[in-house]
Structure 1
Amino acid sequence: MARRCGRATSRFTEEIHIYPRKRVTLAVWLCLCLVFLSSAEAGLYTASDQIVLLTPENVESILVNSTAAMVVEFYASWCGHCIAFSPVYVSLARDIKEWKPAVNLAAIDCAAEENRRVCTGYKIRGYPTIKFFHAYSKADSTGQAFKDFSRNVRGLRHRIIDKLETHVEPWPPACPPLEPTSQAEIDNFFETNNIQHLALIFEEATSYIGREVTLDLLQFENIAVRRVLNTEESLVTKLGVTEFPSCYLYYPGGNFTRLRVNIEARTFYSYALQRLPGVVRSGKPPPVSLHILTNNTDEPWRQFNKSRVYMADLESTLHYSLRVELAAHTVIKGDALTSLKNYISVLAKYFPGRPVVMNLLRYADSWLQKQTADQISYEAFRDILDNKAQIPDAALPEGVRWVGCQGSQPHLRRYPCGVWTVFHALTVQANSGGSSAPREVLGAMRSYVHNFFGCRACAEHFENMARESVAEVDTLSSAVLWLWSRHNRVNNRLAGALSEDPLFPKIQWPSPEMCPACHTVKDNGEHRWNMPQVLPFLMSHFSSSSILTDYLDNETQVLEKQREKHANQQLALAQKPVERKAREALDVIQTSTTQPTVQEEEEEEEEEGPQDEAGADEEEEGGEEAPAAAAPDEMQAFKAKPSEPARWTKHTVEGVRGQWQVHRKPSIVGMRMREMREDIVDLDSFVNQHYKAKALRVAASSRVKRRTLQREKEQENGPMFGLGMELDAGVGMVGLQPMEADFELDVGQQRKQLQKRDLTGQYFGGEAELSQKKRWMSVLSIGFSKLDISLCVILYFMSTMCLLAMYLFFKNRLRLRRAKTAFP
């Protein structure tokens, strides 16, 4: 199988014979091809690699008549050399990301059945093959192949620059001039160009730094970069250049200054030039002035140190993660539940939080580990986060208060920045604490992002990175460095995206200003991270002792806010059924307190005689407008302050029952039917379900005079109420209703009876004077409605007809039998 691959890639045969050790490596890669059978379909690259994936549908639109030059890799996903080369090609895509307006990278998998015709059309015979397509290529162009190209990023980058310089007209419109400049051009530069900075890079003829920096600054405005060779004596002498390479900033009028960098290399030049005042990425708005941010009244800007970590960001991230992001999952089960348990466990172990927060996280972890069911509800978990069990000295502050992660706009940075900060802090604390599992934190992060992180495209990119290399992490320090390197990879991918904050551009972190010792160069001048210095920097930067607690409430305030929240929630829960039942009772009261019609009043006068006339006169004088005026008072009573729950007493319940019952006249009087109300209520079930003592707090305070122990002179004049006997005796409650005029006692005498009356709602002594007929008819009318009466009439009629039919039937039978016995 190795021979077959060697024949297919004949250009590599000589290398295999020269370096026998590579045979072993190649054999291993080819053996792994069986594992990558599923990858053959998806290819070796993904969209997160910043490489354009070609297909038969888009290949023509991308390669033909393109305004940018294209570099295309034709590969086969089963080829070992292609698999080994893929990381280099991905690194190249990240390295020249800023060159995209002038040159872009693409790839196509020729092993895929649907792509074979495309690869054949471009005359591909071996893998991998890299071809360069000039801008505005014709449809019949097959590109220029890179012969014997190097297998490192630097060599490929230089090869691309060579191809760009040989570009014929038309020149790629986005590509700046790459040829060396002269004294004459520099003297007239500002007359023809409206820019703020001109950078001159002095170098030797064989150096690529000037051209690389020129392309690196391609996407930035207010700056231009020109290459000056050491042979341009006039400029070299004028500026006093003695070192090559070196960079000078040239301004109108012949003013100039040297650009100070740690190391005279491409990466340091590019970074320093991109951070000059006024230099912004093309198409991006300029950074918002700090003065404007500070004066923003919607959310005031919090001054902070960019080189420090703030606890406010960490706690804000926890709040959003656990109370907002997780809340999207009403039920958490299966892998998601396992992920949550691991996530909370890691937080409880390694989160560098304050004592109250750590107590809450440990409590949540303990609760989750005890859950043996295969699913939990988020509401139950939310109760744990809110500490409903009142665990002492445990709380997770609510709300977000971004400091180091705040952005110049409300939609920039914030939670994503906080997530990275929390993850870095966890890996560092695990390394400091001596965890026994190197991938414990990374595994919990990966699982959480996969199951819960709201940005699904971000979660997919993170999963691709983890699947690619997280298995290589075998120590705690390598876990810290793995997360740091992947964070920088994400920064590279998102640089220039709409999500980038102009005030906080995406850079390779830490910057040379923050950690000069973290940056160095290789022998060939390429940038290299100084890992022995990067790890101590990360350990110091994210250590718990370095985290600032500015802009935070102290722990006492956090606990007090939690107690107030619990008290308010309990009061709200107590008031919720009360308010609901009160509203229902109010609806009944309002529909039950309508005035009787003229016909009903006339019938009552005929039936009750002079006594009713007296009551009617009294009602006409002062009581006719009472129901209409009582409604606002009743509404005000239901809006009583929550701090007065004790006023919902049995007196209120009896008063409301009495009000409802006052208009509940007997439905059958003198064997004559009268029109009844439509809103019939079964008092037995209604009282048992709705008329609880606390449900009617002040519902009838304006309709029923409260029972009191005041003296006679302290009591205000008001309508007197008697106890209605119409309520079902089985309810065990008595209602108050206005007494008829003929049964009223003297006012003074009545007040004495009120004072002597027991507060539990016993009968008035005057109630015994009610006529036996009225009491009896009231009892008969309990619970009867139109439907009840109609059913009774129908049943009575049907039973009568049935008895009549039976009577006629047996009468005829008897007559026939008698007739038969008459014959001999």
Structure 2
Amino acid sequence: MEPRCGRATSRSTPAQTHAGRKAAAAAAAFCLCFCLLYPSAVEAGLYTASDQIYLLTPENVESVLVNSTAAMVVEFYASWCGHCVSFSPIYKRLAADTREWKPAVNLAAIDCAAQESRQVCVDHRISGFPAIKFFHAYSAANSQGEVFKGFPRDVQGLRHLIIDNLEAHGEHWPPACPPLEPTSQAEIDVFFQTNTVQHLALIFEKADSYVGREVTLDLLQFENIAVRRVLNTDEHLVTKVGVTEFPSCFLYYPGGNFTRLGVDFEARSFYSYALQRLPGVVRSGKPQPVITDMLTNKTGDIWRPFNSSRVYMADLESTLHYSLRVELAAHTVIKGETLTSLKSYISVLAKYFPGRTVVMNVLKSLNSLLQNETADHIYYEAFKEVLDNTAQAADTALPEVVRWVGCQGSEPHFRRYPCGLWTLFHVLTIQANSTGGSDPLEVLNAMRNYVRSFFGCTYCAEHFERMAAEGLMEVNSLSSAVLWLWSRHNRVNNRIAGALSEDPLFPKIQWPSPEMCSACHTVKENGDHKWNKDKVLGFLLSHFSSSTILTDYLEDEIQILEKQREKHARQQLAPKHVERKAREALNSIMHFPPSPSSVEEEEEEEEDKGEEEEPQDEAVAYEEEEEEEAGDEAPAAGSEMEGKSSEPTSWARAEMEMGHNQRQAHRKPTIVGMRMRELQEDIVDLDSFVNQHFKAKALQLAASSRVKQRTLQREVEQEPRPAFSLGMELDAGLGMVGLQPMKENLELDVGQQRKRLLKRELARQYFGGEPELSHKGRWMSMLSIGFSKLDISLCVMLYFLSSMCLLAMYLFFKNRLRVRRIKIALP
């Protein structure tokens, strides 16, 4: 069979290879879509979508198995079968081990115990469980597949069995699968002339070795690299290269040069990892890794050089910011199980987070708030007030600046928060182990509950929940909790490697890499990779220790506290600013133009005021402006310093009111509740307008702080009456302006009287009024107080039209009644 296979595969051209890689990408996309389209099957049997196994149903079995471009390995099982349950972990590990083979070979499973799937199992003549069948690429509709009789119960044996059946394809070779037969000197001599790859790896091995074929399939999804087998029986090549041990791997370059690939162990996993990290080697469909100086333009942020072997506190604080201010903010009310999850999460952070003093004070305040909460719910706004330190406790702040360092990605949607969250919980498990926590599951349960209740990626949260449900109860010590989280992190890396979410600059690998911890990696007797968990634990305890966390790129604590104070001050001024805007909007309903003299006087006063006043703080000036607009009287600064009474005298208050009125002279008075009229048609009696304006504006003075009692009589007709002053005191219950009698011998300043008369004359000229009202004008003034001539004209016109309408209706009905009487009189 092997020579036949060799003839079939040796005819592959670069075009066929390119087409095969396209088919590989299509198959990977199909795998993702399949897992998303059948969530119900995920929950039913022994396998889930996260196990990287196709879940077959009667609806999709034909489309998956018939005429497929990839070979299919299918397990037929019954969920009630004890042996099937015991075999399922092995099949899951096989799927994870061969995930890079997917474009050429896919793994699937179907539950024959399910009512809807029984007929499929009957059609494929399944009589016992578990049963495994191999379906060649381009299988016909009536194909029954090749049965694995007496298949091994270990991953390596199953992997070798799959390779044997894959090589038996003959003419119907999967287009995405590279050649697996041994190469020759003739092919190597012209390799770079017929292929566009940058690297050619030659694995020298014995005839019964599977390492070369396994590494070839492991590199199937990568571009710019090709792998070929060379048997130890090829004396010419073995002698030319100088190979002395098998297996061994050499890189061949144009010109006939060979270089041995440096690895710690001559084994499949070490070869695969080293070849995938060669320059220019990228996963199919992924762009080349981005050059560092180009990242600034793509992320919109400055690229921060960092040490990939260290943890940065900036990542941890950025994670806290996003977790507490963004993800939690999506929950307006937190109650029930969600509140319990939040309490355990904050409690773990307060106990084990190795943060700065200002951050730890925030976490302790939040923990105190939640632990003392007796209600069954809490509002996020209350939580946020403590988080933002609204009470302004000393040395308490969580930075709002996000600075990703070790978790930064080449694109804005790569890494960042998910990377930060993993790092955060690794640090917490290490801190719990170092400080001697009492509960091994304390941190892991807090992480599990947080991800289930708050993590934004729902699909990711479901995967993590299923993963946690499998083996979390096996954790019985603090060190085992550290290793459990590490192993699950690597499982997730294996599952999402090559996905769209993978950053090409930071590919998903089994971590730590051999470069970071060579002692963590070893091999079994059969050559498979094995983790040295003792070395892994030591590496994790050192890598995530609080003493080794770098504080580079952190914002200074003094700056953080200063920014928080400024933000708090702005929040306090915001209500006053809103009130001021509302008052200005009220004033803009209807405006009167200022007279030229008042504008000039106001400008002069502003200039004088600007010369006399000292520079003020912006917030203080803002508050004083609010007090001036509200009509509040504040004592002078000099009086306060000299210890004088802060209550101004009535004369001083009158002077302050006069100055306030002069500053407000350019403002156009308004009448609340009335429709705005065109300015050129406004004719308003000033005395009546002032009276209305007092009611609407509540204590804005119109002309002076001291006026005589208003009347419509001529000055010669008025009887002597006591003068009154308009005081600024308010009746608290009624809100009325008080009238205070003045002394009769109190004379107004001549200059002030002349200014006020000039303003009144100019205003009357603008509104079309006369200095003295005629007899008719006085009656019109009495009848049209607060109304213009246009309003009166409209009223008269409406009265006339309504009268004519009533007259027309009367004539119409009278005429109609006469016609009806005539009709009744006819015989």
Q: TM-score range by the shorter chain?
A: 0.7 to 0.9
Cα RMSD (Å): 4.1
User: Residue 500 of structure 1 aligns with which residue?
Assistant: 502
Instruction: Tell me the alpha carbon deviations over residues 301-354 of structure 1, each in whole angstroms, 9 at most, x when there is no partner.
Output: 100000000000000000000001111111111111111111000000011111
Matched, 1:593 2:595: no
Mapped to 1, the partners of 2:82 and 2:290 lie a distance apart of 50
Q: After the TM superposition, which residues 253-652 of structure 1 pair with which residues of structure 2 at under 5 Å, given as runs?
A: 253-293=255-295, 298-577=300-579, 579-588=580-589, 591-593=590-592, 622=596, 642-644=619-621, 645-647=623-625, 648-649=627-628, 650=631, 651=657
2:751 alignment partner, one of 747, 752, 756: 747
Instruction: Give the Cα–Cα distance (whole angstroms) in 2 for the partners of residues 400 and 530 of structure 1.
Output: 37
The answer on 1:168 being equivalent to 2:146 is no
The separation in 1 between residues aligned to 2:167 and 2:443, in whole angstroms, is 48
Contact 1:63–1:70 (Cα < 8 Å) also in 2:
yes
Task: Quote the Cα distance in structure 1 between the aligned partners of 2:179 and 2:232.
Answer: 18
For the residue of structure 1 that corresponds to 2:144, the secondary structure is coil
Structure 1 spans left out of the alignment, 5+ residues: 1-37, 596-618, 634-639, 668-673, 708-721, 736-742, 753-769, 794-824
1:292 Cα deviation (Å)? 1.9
Aligned partner letter, 1:211: R
Matched, 1:83 2:85: yes
User: C-alpha displacement at 1:173, in angstroms?
Assistant: 0.2
Distance 1:706 1:255 in 2: 104
Task: Give the letter for the 1:584 counterpart.
Answer: A
**Structure 1 residues 177 and 568 mapped into 2: Cα distance closer, same or farther (>3 Å)?**
same
CA deviations 1:623-660 (Å, max 9, x no partner) are 79999x99xx9xxxxxx965412133224876799888
Distance 1:680 1:215 in 2: 93
2:244 equivalent among 226, 242, 251? 242
Question: What amino acid does structure 2 have at the position aligned with 1:582?
Answer: R
Q: For 1:224, give the aligned amino acid.
A: A
Q: How far, CA to CA, are the matches of 2:50 and 2:670 in structure 1?
A: 77
Match of 2:25 in 1: none
1:20-78 per-residue CA deviation (whole Å, 9 max, x = no partner) reads: xxxxxxxxxxxxxxxxxx99971111111111111111111110000000111111111
What is the CA–CA distance in structure 2 between the aligned matches of 1:523 and 1:488, rounded to whole Å?
Answer: 23
State whether residues 423 and 445 of structure 1, in contact with CA within 8 Å, keep that contact through their aligned partners in structure 2: yes
Question: Which whole-Å CA distance do the structure 1 matches of 2:369 and 2:88 have between them?
Answer: 46
Question: Which residue of 2 is the match for residue 155 of structure 1?
Answer: 157
Contact 1:40 1:77 in 2 (8 A): no
AA partner of residue 731 (structure 1):
G
Pairs within 5 Å for 1:776-795: none
Cα separation, 1, equivalents of 2:109 and 2:452: 27
CA distance in 2, matches of 1:186, 1:311: 51
Instruction: Please give the alpha-carbon distance, in whole angstroms, between the structure 1 residues aligned to 2:552 and 2:575.
Output: 36
SS of 1:428's equivalent in the other structure is: helix
- The one-letter code sitting in structure 1 at the alignment partner of 2:472 is V
The answer to whether the 8 Å contact 2:404/2:416 transfers is yes
Structure 1 residue matching 2:399: 3-state secondary structure: coil
What is the distance in 1 between the residues matched to 2:669 and 2:728? 9
* Residues 209 and 266, structure 1, Cα contact 8 Å, conserved in 2: yes
How far apart are the structure 2 equivalents of 1:505 and 1:370?
A: 45
Separation (CA, whole Å) in 1 of partners of 2:694 and 2:279? 82
CA pair 570-256 structure 1, distance change in 2 beyond 3 A: same
The corresponding residue for 1:805 is none
Deviations 1:187-227 (A, max 9, x none): 12111111100000011111110000000000000000001
Please point out which of 214, 217, 226 is paired with 1:215. 217
* TM-aligned CA deviation for residue 413 of structure 1: 0.5
Alpha-carbon offset, residue 583 of structure 1:
2.5
Instruction: Report what 2:106 is aligned to.
Output: 104
In the alignment, the residues of structure 2 paired with residue 681 and residue 184 of structure 1 have an alpha-carbon distance, to the nearest angstrom, of 111
Tell me, in whole angstroms, the C-alpha distance in 2 between the residues paired with 1:194 and 1:514. 32
Distance, in Å, in 1 between the alignment partners of 2:785 and 2:447 is: 66
What's the secondary structure of 1:253's corresponding residue? coil
Corresponding residue to 2:735 among 731, 736, 740: 731
Distance 2:280 2:375 in 1: 59
Residues 185-224 of structure 1: pairs in structure 2 closer than 5 A: 185-224=187-226
Distance in 2 between residues matched to 1:704 and 1:296, nearest whole Å: 64
Range with bigger deviation, 470-479 or 39-48: 39-48
Distance 2:276 2:304 in 1: 25
Pair 1:397–1:171, CA change in 2 (3 A): same
Corresponding residue for residue 52 of structure 2: 50
Task: List runs of 5+ in structure 2 lacking aligned partners.
Answer: 1-39, 608-616, 632-656, 675-682, 707-723, 740-746, 757-771, 796-827
- Judged with a 3 Å threshold, the aligned counterparts in structure 2 of structure 1 residues 50 and 680 are, in CA distance, closer, same or farther, namely farther
> Cα distance 1:410–1:115, how it changes in 2: closer, same or farther (>3 A)?
same
Q: Does the 8 Å contact 1:77/1:109 carry over to 2?
A: yes
CA distance in 2: counterparts of 1:675 and 1:218, whole angstroms: 91
Contact 1:727–1:782, Cα closer than 8 Å, also in 2: no
Compared with structure 1, are the counterparts of its residues 705 and 104 closer, same or farther at alpha carbon in structure 2 (3 Å cutoff)?
farther
Q: 1:728 to 1:471 in 2, by over 3 A?
A: closer
Tell me if structure 2 keeps the 8 A contact 1:72–1:105.
Answer: yes
Q: 2:500 & 2:189 partners in 1: Cα distance? A: 37
DSSP 3-state at the match of 2:588: helix
Shift of 1:751: 9.0
Q: Is the 8 A contact 1:74 1:127 kept in 2?
A: yes
Instruction: Name the CA shift for 1:781/1:454 in 2 (closer, same or farther; >3 Å).
Output: farther
Count of matched residue positions in the alignment of Structure 1 and Structure 2: 660
Letter in 2 for 1:646: E
**Cα 1:193–1:784 shift into 2, 3 Å:** same
Amino acid at match of 1:360: V
CA distance in 2, matches of 1:656, 1:395: 43
Q: Answer whether contact 1:395 1:558 (CA < 8 A) is retained.
A: yes
- AA aligned to 1:65 is N
- Specify the alignment match of 1:800 in structure 2: none
Q: Is the partner of 2:141 in helix, strand or coil?
A: coil
Contact 2:249/2:261 (8 A) holds in 1: yes
Cα distance in structure 2, aligned partners of 1:295 and 1:681: 65
Q: Which letter maps to 1:459?
A: A
Q: Is the 8 A contact 1:352 1:544 kept in 2?
A: yes
Call closer, same or farther: CA 1:433–1:779 in 2, change over 3 Å: farther
Match of 1:177 in 2: 179
> Equivalents in 2 of 1:427, 1:380: separation in Å?
29
Return the offset for 1:299.
1.1
Shift of 1:585: 3.2
User: In 2, Cα distance between the equivalents of 1:706 and 1:402?
Assistant: 64
> What SS is found at the alignment partner of 1:510?
coil
Q: Is the 8 A contact 1:654 1:733 kept in 2?
A: no
Provide TM-score, normalisation by structure 2. Answer: 0.73
Distance in 2 (CA, whole Å) between partners of 1:434 and 1:519 is 28
Match for 2:115 among 92, 107, 113?
Answer: 113
